[in-house]
Amino acid sequence: MFVIEREHFQALLEALHQRGFETLGPTVRDGAIVYDRVERDTDFPIGWTDEQEPARYTLKRRSDQAMFGYVVGPHSWKKFLFPPRERLWSAAKNGNGFSVMPEPDHSRPLALIGVRACELSALAIQKKVFTGGPFVEPGYQSRAEKLFVVALNCGTAGGNCFCVSMQTGPQATAGFDLALTEIIDADRHYFVVEAGSQAGTDILNDVPHRQAEKVEQQAAVTVVEQTANRMGRKLETEGIKELLYRNFEHSAWEEIANRCLSCANCTMVCPTCFCSTVEDVTDVTGDHAERWRRWDSCFSVEFSYIHGGPVRSTTSSRYRQWMTHKLASWIDQFGTSGCVGCGRCITWCPVGIDLTEEVHNIRASERTANKQ
Ligand code: SF4
Ligand code: SF4
Protein backbone atom coordinates (compact mmCIF):
# COMPACT_ATOMS: atom_id res chain seq x y z
CA MET A 1 0.00 0.00 0.00
CA PHE A 2 1.19 3.49 -0.88
CA VAL A 3 0.13 7.07 -0.33
CA ILE A 4 -0.35 9.81 -2.91
CA GLU A 5 -0.94 13.22 -1.35
CA ARG A 6 -3.90 15.19 -2.73
CA GLU A 7 -1.57 17.83 -4.20
CA HIS A 8 0.04 15.14 -6.37
CA PHE A 9 -3.20 13.88 -7.91
CA GLN A 10 -2.52 16.05 -10.96
CA ALA A 11 0.75 14.15 -11.43
CA LEU A 12 -1.29 10.95 -11.81
CA LEU A 13 -3.29 12.53 -14.66
CA GLU A 14 -0.07 13.78 -16.27
CA ALA A 15 1.56 10.35 -16.02
CA LEU A 16 -1.44 8.86 -17.84
CA HIS A 17 -1.35 11.61 -20.50
CA GLN A 18 2.40 11.01 -20.98
CA ARG A 19 1.65 7.40 -21.85
CA GLY A 20 -0.98 8.38 -24.39
CA PHE A 21 -4.14 7.74 -22.36
CA GLU A 22 -7.29 9.81 -22.77
CA THR A 23 -8.35 10.39 -19.16
CA LEU A 24 -12.05 9.97 -18.35
CA GLY A 25 -13.63 10.56 -14.99
CA PRO A 26 -16.45 12.14 -13.01
CA THR A 27 -17.39 15.75 -13.58
CA VAL A 28 -20.42 17.92 -12.80
CA ARG A 29 -22.77 18.74 -15.68
CA ASP A 30 -26.48 19.61 -15.85
CA GLY A 31 -27.01 18.99 -12.16
CA ALA A 32 -25.53 15.49 -12.14
CA ILE A 33 -22.18 13.75 -11.91
CA VAL A 34 -21.40 12.36 -15.35
CA TYR A 35 -18.38 10.65 -16.87
CA ASP A 36 -16.46 12.71 -19.40
CA ARG A 37 -12.93 13.84 -20.32
CA VAL A 38 -10.95 15.10 -17.36
CA GLU A 39 -7.72 16.97 -18.03
CA ARG A 40 -7.02 18.51 -14.64
CA ASP A 41 -7.79 17.63 -11.02
CA THR A 42 -10.07 20.68 -10.91
CA ASP A 43 -12.35 19.00 -13.49
CA PHE A 44 -13.46 16.51 -10.79
CA PRO A 45 -16.59 17.12 -8.64
CA ILE A 46 -14.63 18.72 -5.80
CA GLY A 47 -16.82 19.31 -2.77
CA TRP A 48 -19.96 17.74 -4.28
CA THR A 49 -22.07 14.85 -3.11
CA ASP A 50 -25.34 13.32 -4.25
CA GLU A 51 -28.50 12.21 -2.47
CA GLN A 52 -30.46 9.39 -4.01
CA GLU A 53 -33.85 7.84 -3.41
CA PRO A 54 -36.24 6.08 -5.78
CA ALA A 55 -36.91 8.53 -8.65
CA ARG A 56 -34.81 11.21 -6.94
CA TYR A 57 -31.26 12.49 -7.44
CA THR A 58 -29.93 15.72 -5.97
CA LEU A 59 -26.44 17.20 -5.97
CA LYS A 60 -25.42 18.93 -2.77
CA ARG A 61 -22.36 20.74 -1.47
CA ARG A 62 -20.17 18.85 1.00
CA SER A 63 -18.45 20.45 3.93
CA ASP A 64 -15.04 19.29 2.62
CA GLN A 65 -13.11 19.26 -0.65
CA ALA A 66 -13.49 15.54 -1.45
CA MET A 67 -12.90 14.67 -5.10
CA PHE A 68 -14.92 11.42 -4.98
CA GLY A 69 -17.47 12.19 -2.27
CA TYR A 70 -20.53 11.13 -4.26
CA VAL A 71 -21.85 7.72 -5.40
CA VAL A 72 -22.81 6.91 -9.00
CA GLY A 73 -24.68 9.14 -11.43
CA PRO A 74 -26.77 8.40 -14.52
CA HIS A 75 -23.74 7.49 -16.65
CA SER A 76 -21.86 4.25 -16.49
CA TRP A 77 -18.48 3.45 -18.04
CA LYS A 78 -20.17 1.22 -20.62
CA LYS A 79 -20.71 4.22 -22.88
CA PHE A 80 -16.96 4.34 -23.58
CA LEU A 81 -16.52 0.62 -24.30
CA PHE A 82 -19.91 -0.04 -25.89
CA PRO A 83 -20.89 3.36 -27.38
CA PRO A 84 -24.59 4.24 -27.55
CA ARG A 85 -24.30 4.59 -31.34
CA GLU A 86 -21.56 3.11 -33.48
CA ARG A 87 -21.00 2.48 -37.21
CA LEU A 88 -20.27 -1.20 -37.84
CA TRP A 89 -19.47 -1.09 -41.57
CA SER A 90 -19.97 0.90 -44.76
CA ALA A 91 -20.71 -0.28 -48.29
CA ALA A 92 -20.16 1.43 -51.65
CA LYS A 93 -21.64 0.68 -55.09
CA ASN A 94 -19.01 -0.71 -57.36
CA GLY A 95 -20.13 -1.12 -61.01
CA ASN A 96 -22.84 -3.76 -60.89
CA GLY A 97 -21.83 -4.92 -57.42
CA PHE A 98 -20.82 -3.35 -54.14
CA SER A 99 -17.96 -3.60 -51.71
CA VAL A 100 -18.19 -3.66 -47.92
CA MET A 101 -15.62 -1.76 -45.84
CA PRO A 102 -15.23 -2.86 -42.23
CA GLU A 103 -15.08 -0.02 -39.73
CA PRO A 104 -11.44 0.91 -38.99
CA ASP A 105 -10.32 0.68 -35.37
CA HIS A 106 -10.17 4.30 -34.17
CA SER A 107 -9.99 3.40 -30.49
CA ARG A 108 -7.53 5.25 -28.28
CA PRO A 109 -6.17 3.95 -24.97
CA LEU A 110 -8.60 5.06 -22.30
CA ALA A 111 -7.92 5.57 -18.60
CA LEU A 112 -11.07 5.38 -16.46
CA ILE A 113 -10.62 7.23 -13.17
CA GLY A 114 -12.84 6.65 -10.15
CA VAL A 115 -14.34 3.27 -11.05
CA ARG A 116 -16.36 1.94 -8.09
CA ALA A 117 -16.19 -1.71 -7.06
CA CYS A 118 -19.71 -2.38 -8.41
CA GLU A 119 -18.65 -0.78 -11.69
CA LEU A 120 -15.56 -3.01 -11.90
CA SER A 121 -17.92 -5.97 -11.66
CA ALA A 122 -20.13 -4.45 -14.35
CA LEU A 123 -17.11 -4.03 -16.65
CA ALA A 124 -16.14 -7.68 -16.05
CA ILE A 125 -19.70 -8.82 -16.78
CA GLN A 126 -19.91 -6.89 -20.05
CA LYS A 127 -16.45 -8.07 -21.09
CA LYS A 128 -17.63 -11.64 -20.68
CA VAL A 129 -20.77 -10.93 -22.70
CA PHE A 130 -18.89 -9.29 -25.57
CA THR A 131 -15.65 -11.28 -25.65
CA GLY A 132 -16.20 -14.45 -23.62
CA GLY A 133 -18.12 -16.53 -26.17
CA PRO A 134 -17.37 -18.00 -29.58
CA PHE A 135 -18.21 -14.67 -31.31
CA VAL A 136 -16.10 -11.78 -30.12
CA GLU A 137 -17.20 -8.15 -30.53
CA PRO A 138 -14.04 -6.68 -32.10
CA GLY A 139 -14.66 -3.03 -31.18
CA TYR A 140 -15.29 -3.87 -27.53
CA GLN A 141 -12.28 -6.15 -27.38
CA SER A 142 -9.97 -3.55 -28.88
CA ARG A 143 -11.12 -0.88 -26.41
CA ALA A 144 -10.99 -3.26 -23.43
CA GLU A 145 -7.44 -4.37 -24.25
CA LYS A 146 -6.16 -0.78 -24.09
CA LEU A 147 -7.94 0.13 -20.87
CA PHE A 148 -6.27 1.49 -17.74
CA VAL A 149 -8.51 1.41 -14.68
CA VAL A 150 -8.11 3.58 -11.59
CA ALA A 151 -10.61 2.12 -9.13
CA LEU A 152 -12.04 3.87 -6.11
CA ASN A 153 -12.95 2.18 -2.84
CA CYS A 154 -16.24 3.78 -1.83
CA GLY A 155 -16.25 6.22 1.05
CA THR A 156 -19.94 7.03 0.57
CA ALA A 157 -22.91 4.70 0.11
CA GLY A 158 -25.94 5.96 -1.76
CA GLY A 159 -29.56 5.63 -0.71
CA ASN A 160 -30.14 3.08 -3.49
CA CYS A 161 -26.84 1.15 -3.24
CA PHE A 162 -26.85 -2.59 -2.45
CA CYS A 163 -23.43 -3.80 -3.61
CA VAL A 164 -22.94 -5.66 -0.31
CA SER A 165 -25.96 -7.85 -1.12
CA MET A 166 -24.56 -8.57 -4.59
CA GLN A 167 -21.04 -9.15 -3.20
CA THR A 168 -19.60 -6.63 -5.64
CA GLY A 169 -18.41 -3.90 -3.26
CA PRO A 170 -17.66 -1.50 -1.71
CA GLN A 171 -14.01 -2.70 -1.82
CA ALA A 172 -12.34 -3.05 -5.23
CA THR A 173 -10.76 -6.49 -5.30
CA ALA A 174 -9.97 -7.24 -8.97
CA GLY A 175 -9.96 -5.72 -12.44
CA PHE A 176 -8.02 -2.54 -11.68
CA ASP A 177 -4.54 -1.19 -12.36
CA LEU A 178 -4.61 1.17 -9.40
CA ALA A 179 -7.15 1.39 -6.56
CA LEU A 180 -7.52 4.54 -4.48
CA THR A 181 -9.11 5.17 -1.11
CA GLU A 182 -9.69 8.87 -0.48
CA ILE A 183 -8.98 9.94 3.10
CA ILE A 184 -9.81 13.34 4.52
CA ASP A 185 -9.06 13.93 8.18
CA ALA A 186 -8.74 17.07 10.27
CA ASP A 187 -5.56 18.33 8.61
CA ARG A 188 -4.77 16.04 5.70
CA HIS A 189 -6.24 14.93 2.37
CA TYR A 190 -4.55 11.95 0.70
CA PHE A 191 -5.14 8.71 -1.19
CA VAL A 192 -4.13 5.24 -0.05
CA VAL A 193 -3.14 3.42 -3.23
CA GLU A 194 -2.89 -0.22 -4.19
CA ALA A 195 -1.38 -1.37 -7.51
CA GLY A 196 -3.26 -4.21 -9.22
CA SER A 197 -1.06 -4.72 -12.29
CA GLN A 198 2.41 -4.02 -13.66
CA ALA A 199 0.92 -1.16 -15.71
CA GLY A 200 -0.40 0.28 -12.44
CA THR A 201 2.99 -0.02 -10.77
CA ASP A 202 4.65 1.69 -13.75
CA ILE A 203 2.26 4.66 -13.59
CA LEU A 204 2.62 4.87 -9.82
CA ASN A 205 6.38 5.12 -10.26
CA ASP A 206 5.83 8.30 -12.31
CA VAL A 207 3.84 9.92 -9.47
CA PRO A 208 5.27 11.19 -6.16
CA HIS A 209 4.28 8.57 -3.58
CA ARG A 210 5.52 6.78 -0.51
CA GLN A 211 4.86 3.63 1.50
CA ALA A 212 1.64 3.90 3.52
CA GLU A 213 2.03 3.88 7.29
CA LYS A 214 0.01 1.44 9.39
CA VAL A 215 -2.37 4.15 10.54
CA GLU A 216 -3.02 5.24 6.95
CA GLN A 217 -3.70 1.65 5.84
CA GLN A 218 -6.11 1.26 8.76
CA ALA A 219 -7.86 4.50 7.80
CA ALA A 220 -8.50 3.03 4.32
CA VAL A 221 -9.93 -0.17 5.82
CA THR A 222 -12.20 1.86 8.11
CA VAL A 223 -13.56 3.92 5.20
CA VAL A 224 -14.67 0.79 3.35
CA GLU A 225 -16.09 -0.86 6.48
CA GLN A 226 -18.16 2.22 7.28
CA THR A 227 -19.48 2.36 3.72
CA ALA A 228 -20.44 -1.33 3.82
CA ASN A 229 -22.48 -0.64 6.95
CA ARG A 230 -24.35 2.24 5.34
CA MET A 231 -25.90 0.55 2.31
CA GLY A 232 -29.17 2.20 1.37
CA ARG A 233 -30.77 -1.07 0.29
CA LYS A 234 -30.60 -4.81 0.65
CA LEU A 235 -31.50 -7.66 -1.69
CA GLU A 236 -31.88 -11.19 -0.39
CA THR A 237 -30.17 -13.22 -3.11
CA GLU A 238 -30.45 -16.71 -1.61
CA GLY A 239 -32.28 -18.87 -4.20
CA ILE A 240 -33.25 -15.79 -6.23
CA LYS A 241 -32.99 -17.56 -9.58
CA GLU A 242 -35.36 -20.34 -8.50
CA LEU A 243 -37.65 -17.78 -6.83
CA LEU A 244 -38.13 -15.84 -10.06
CA TYR A 245 -38.41 -18.94 -12.25
CA ARG A 246 -41.06 -20.31 -9.87
CA ASN A 247 -43.01 -17.06 -10.08
CA PHE A 248 -43.14 -16.58 -13.82
CA GLU A 249 -46.89 -16.33 -13.36
CA HIS A 250 -47.45 -13.91 -10.46
CA SER A 251 -49.81 -11.01 -9.91
CA ALA A 252 -46.80 -8.80 -9.12
CA TRP A 253 -45.95 -8.39 -12.82
CA GLU A 254 -49.34 -6.85 -13.59
CA GLU A 255 -49.18 -4.70 -10.49
CA ILE A 256 -45.73 -3.35 -11.49
CA ALA A 257 -46.97 -2.81 -15.06
CA ASN A 258 -49.66 -0.48 -13.68
CA ARG A 259 -46.85 1.83 -12.56
CA CYS A 260 -44.15 1.13 -15.16
CA LEU A 261 -44.03 3.55 -18.11
CA SER A 262 -41.98 1.15 -20.25
CA CYS A 263 -39.65 4.11 -20.78
CA ALA A 264 -36.44 1.99 -20.80
CA ASN A 265 -34.58 4.36 -18.44
CA CYS A 266 -33.62 1.45 -16.19
CA THR A 267 -31.88 -0.35 -19.06
CA MET A 268 -30.15 2.75 -20.39
CA VAL A 269 -28.56 3.59 -17.02
CA CYS A 270 -27.74 -0.02 -16.11
CA PRO A 271 -23.99 -0.68 -16.43
CA THR A 272 -24.52 -4.29 -17.54
CA CYS A 273 -27.48 -4.05 -19.98
CA PHE A 274 -26.18 -4.68 -23.47
CA CYS A 275 -29.17 -4.99 -25.82
CA SER A 276 -28.78 -3.24 -29.16
CA THR A 277 -30.35 -2.99 -32.59
CA VAL A 278 -28.97 -2.13 -36.01
CA GLU A 279 -30.10 0.44 -38.55
CA ASP A 280 -29.09 0.59 -42.21
CA VAL A 281 -28.90 4.01 -43.86
CA THR A 282 -28.08 5.15 -47.40
CA ASP A 283 -27.10 8.52 -48.81
CA VAL A 284 -29.30 10.33 -51.37
CA THR A 285 -27.35 8.96 -54.35
CA GLY A 286 -27.93 5.39 -53.21
CA ASP A 287 -24.21 4.69 -53.83
CA HIS A 288 -23.21 4.54 -50.18
CA ALA A 289 -24.75 2.63 -47.30
CA GLU A 290 -23.86 2.23 -43.64
CA ARG A 291 -24.89 -0.06 -40.83
CA TRP A 292 -25.12 1.54 -37.37
CA ARG A 293 -25.65 -0.17 -34.06
CA ARG A 294 -27.42 1.67 -31.26
CA TRP A 295 -28.48 0.79 -27.74
CA ASP A 296 -31.92 -0.75 -27.55
CA SER A 297 -33.94 -2.08 -24.66
CA CYS A 298 -36.13 -5.04 -23.78
CA PHE A 299 -38.68 -2.38 -22.78
CA SER A 300 -39.27 -1.31 -26.39
CA VAL A 301 -42.07 -3.14 -28.21
CA GLU A 302 -39.97 -3.37 -31.39
CA PHE A 303 -37.19 -5.17 -29.58
CA SER A 304 -39.12 -8.46 -29.51
CA TYR A 305 -40.74 -8.01 -32.93
CA ILE A 306 -40.48 -11.24 -34.94
CA HIS A 307 -42.69 -12.92 -37.55
CA GLY A 308 -45.20 -10.07 -37.75
CA GLY A 309 -45.61 -9.17 -34.09
CA PRO A 310 -43.84 -8.52 -30.79
CA VAL A 311 -43.28 -11.50 -28.52
CA ARG A 312 -43.58 -9.26 -25.46
CA SER A 313 -46.49 -6.98 -26.27
CA THR A 314 -47.42 -6.03 -22.69
CA THR A 315 -45.53 -3.95 -20.13
CA SER A 316 -45.86 -6.77 -17.58
CA SER A 317 -44.13 -9.22 -19.93
CA ARG A 318 -41.36 -6.71 -20.63
CA TYR A 319 -40.72 -5.90 -16.95
CA ARG A 320 -40.77 -9.63 -16.11
CA GLN A 321 -38.29 -10.27 -18.92
CA TRP A 322 -35.96 -7.52 -17.67
CA MET A 323 -35.97 -8.49 -14.02
CA THR A 324 -35.91 -12.23 -14.61
CA HIS A 325 -33.00 -11.87 -17.03
CA LYS A 326 -31.07 -9.56 -14.70
CA LEU A 327 -31.44 -11.63 -11.57
CA ALA A 328 -32.07 -15.20 -12.77
CA SER A 329 -31.48 -16.31 -16.38
CA TRP A 330 -28.29 -14.20 -16.57
CA ILE A 331 -26.85 -16.65 -14.03
CA ASP A 332 -27.60 -19.58 -16.37
CA GLN A 333 -26.32 -17.65 -19.37
CA PHE A 334 -23.13 -16.06 -18.04
CA GLY A 335 -22.47 -17.61 -14.63
CA THR A 336 -23.10 -14.42 -12.61
CA SER A 337 -25.99 -12.16 -11.74
CA GLY A 338 -26.64 -9.39 -14.26
CA CYS A 339 -27.06 -6.94 -11.39
CA VAL A 340 -24.16 -5.40 -9.46
CA GLY A 341 -26.26 -3.43 -6.97
CA CYS A 342 -25.42 0.08 -8.20
CA GLY A 343 -28.98 1.34 -7.68
CA ARG A 344 -29.11 3.40 -10.89
CA CYS A 345 -32.31 1.76 -12.16
CA ILE A 346 -34.03 2.75 -8.91
CA THR A 347 -32.82 6.35 -8.91
CA TRP A 348 -33.54 7.01 -12.57
CA CYS A 349 -36.88 5.21 -12.83
CA PRO A 350 -39.31 8.16 -13.19
CA VAL A 351 -41.89 6.38 -11.03
CA GLY A 352 -39.40 4.96 -8.52
CA ILE A 353 -39.82 1.24 -9.17
CA ASP A 354 -37.29 -0.50 -6.96
CA LEU A 355 -36.24 -4.00 -7.99
CA THR A 356 -35.09 -4.85 -4.44
CA GLU A 357 -38.58 -4.12 -3.17
CA GLU A 358 -40.27 -5.99 -6.02
CA VAL A 359 -38.18 -9.12 -5.36
CA HIS A 360 -38.90 -8.78 -1.66
CA ASN A 361 -42.66 -8.58 -2.35
CA ILE A 362 -42.61 -11.72 -4.49
CA ARG A 363 -40.59 -13.56 -1.83
CA ALA A 364 -42.88 -12.36 0.95
CA SER A 365 -46.00 -13.48 -0.95
CA GLU A 366 -44.51 -16.96 -1.33
CA ARG A 367 -43.68 -17.15 2.37
CA THR A 368 -47.19 -16.10 3.26
CA ALA A 369 -48.66 -18.67 0.87
CA ASN A 370 -46.43 -21.40 2.33
CA LYS A 371 -47.64 -20.61 5.87
CA GLN A 372 -51.31 -20.98 4.87
S1 SF4 B 1 -30.22 -3.76 -12.44
FE2 SF4 B 1 -30.23 -1.72 -11.46
S3 SF4 B 1 -29.03 -1.95 -9.57
FE4 SF4 B 1 -28.61 -3.76 -10.86
S5 SF4 B 1 -26.74 -3.19 -12.02
FE6 SF4 B 1 -28.50 -2.61 -13.32
S7 SF4 B 1 -28.91 -0.45 -12.78
FE8 SF4 B 1 -27.57 -1.27 -11.18
S1 SF4 C 1 -39.16 0.20 -14.45
FE2 SF4 C 1 -39.10 2.46 -14.38
S3 SF4 C 1 -37.32 3.04 -15.63
FE4 SF4 C 1 -37.80 0.89 -16.13
S5 SF4 C 1 -39.16 1.02 -17.92
FE6 SF4 C 1 -40.50 0.96 -16.11
S7 SF4 C 1 -40.87 3.15 -15.61
FE8 SF4 C 1 -39.10 3.10 -17.01
Measured CA to CA, the distance from residue 337 to residue 335 in angstroms comes to 7
Query: 61 CA distance to ligand 1 centroid (A)?
Result: 26
Return the closest-CA partner of residue 54 out of 358, 360, 256, 353.
Answer: 353
Residue 183 backbone dihedrals phi, psi, to 5 degrees: -120, 125
Identity (one letter) of the amino acid at 268? M
Burial class (CB in 10 A: 0-12, 13-18, 19+), 103: middle
Identity (one letter) of the amino acid at 209? H
Determine the pLDDT at residue 281. 96
Return the closest-CA partner of residue 179 out of 154, 196, 156.
Answer: 196
Strand partners for 3: 192, 210
Number of residues that make up the chain: 372
Query: 84 CA distance to ligand 2 centroid (A)?
Result: 19
Q: Describe the chain by its helix, strand, coil percentages, rounded to 5.
A: 35, 25, 40
Q: Whose CA is nearest to atom 7 of ligand 1?
A: 270
Residue 298 backbone dihedrals phi, psi, to 5 degrees: -70, -5
Closest approach atom of ligand 1 to CA 340: 5
Structural domain boundaries in the chain: 2-228, 240-371
Q: In what order do the strands lie in the sheet with 2-5?
A: 32-37, 22-29, 110-116, 148-152, 178-184, 189-195, 2-5, 210-211
Q: What is the pLDDT along the chain (372 residues), one digit of tens a residue?
A: 999 999 999 999 999 999 999 999 999 999 999 999 999 999 999 999 999 999 999 999 999 999 999 999 999 999 999 999 999 999 999 989 999 999 999 889 999 999 999 999 999 999 999 999 999 999 999 999 999 999 999 999 999 999 999 999 999 999 999 999 999 998 999 999 999 999 999 999 999 999 999 999 999 999 999 999 999 999 999 999 999 999 999 999 999 999 999 999 999 999 999 999 999 999 999 899 999 999 999 999 999 999 899 999 999 999 999 999 999 999 999 999 999 999 999 999 999 999 999 999 999 999 888 887
Contact 208, 6 (CB under 8 A): no
Q: Whose CA is nearest to atom 4 of ligand 2?
A: 266
Query: 355 CA distance to ligand 2 centroid (A)?
Result: 10
Query: 48 CA distance to ligand 2 centroid (A)?
Result: 27
Determine the pLDDT at residue 371. 84
Q: Which residues contact 131 (CB under 8 A, 6 or more apart)?
A: 137, 140, 141, 144
Return the closest-CA partner of residue 185 out of 48, 6, 2.
Answer: 6
Closest approach atom of ligand 1 to CA 162: 3
Contact 147, 109 (CB under 8 A): yes
Query: 299 CA distance to ligand 2 centroid (A)?
Result: 8
Q: What is the CA radius of gyration of the chain?
A: 22
3-class DSSP state of 112: strand
Longest Cα separation, the chain: 76
Measured CA to CA, the distance from residue 50 to residue 27 in angstroms comes to 12
Measured CA to CA, the distance from residue 11 to residue 204 in angstroms comes to 10
Measured CA to CA, the distance from residue 126 to residue 185 in angstroms comes to 37
DSSP for 20-80 reads: TPEEEEEEEETTEEEEEE--SGGGS-TTEEEEEETTEEEEEE-SS--SS-S---S--THHH
Tell me the residue ranges of DSSP E strands in the chain. 2-5, 22-29, 32-37, 48-53, 56-61, 85-94, 97-102, 110-116, 148-152, 178-184, 189-195, 210-211, 276-282, 288-295, 305-306, 309-310
Distances (CA, A) of 43 to 25, 46, 62, 100, 364: 9, 8, 16, 42, 46
Closest approach atom of ligand 1 to CA 346: 2
* Residue 338 DSSP class: S
**Residue in 331, 340, 358 to alter for ligand 1 test, most ligand atoms within 8 A of Cβ:** 340
Determine the pLDDT at residue 7. 97
Contact 53, 343 (CB under 8 A): no
